[in-house]
Structure 1
Amino acid sequence: MADEIKYEFKTVRPVRGTDGWVISKMQKEGWELVRQAQARCAPQSTSVGRRSRSRGS
């Protein structure tokens, strides 16, 4: 299975109001947005991205 794609994952917690900026910056760096969740009791979000490991490693 040498052709299996391996991914690295990155979780970020941007400062309130900067979600869009952080996501666009990560996409320019080759990251793909996998999941975005809003916190229930605090006004904060968490974004999870992934990209292929062959890129830069």
Structure 2
Amino acid sequence: MFQLRGWQVKTRPVTDEARRSRASQPNERWATDLCRVWTGRNGCATLTLVIDCFSRELLG
């Protein structure tokens, strides 16, 4: 979405260590991300996502 609208997208270089890091079973490795969402009159809210890297299930 950011790329389609021409907004700035920061990317990090992928290292060899990051490529080797894999989860071999569920509940072993997670990834998180934060996003600020405009909510209108109330200002911004922070959306925090947690994903299981093995099953790709959103946990919270």
Both proteins in one fold, TM over 0.5:
no
Higher strand share: 1
After TM superposition, the score normalised by the length of structure 1 is 0.28
Larger-Rg structure: 2
Which structure is higher in RCO with an 8 Å CA cutoff and minimum separation 6?
Answer: 1
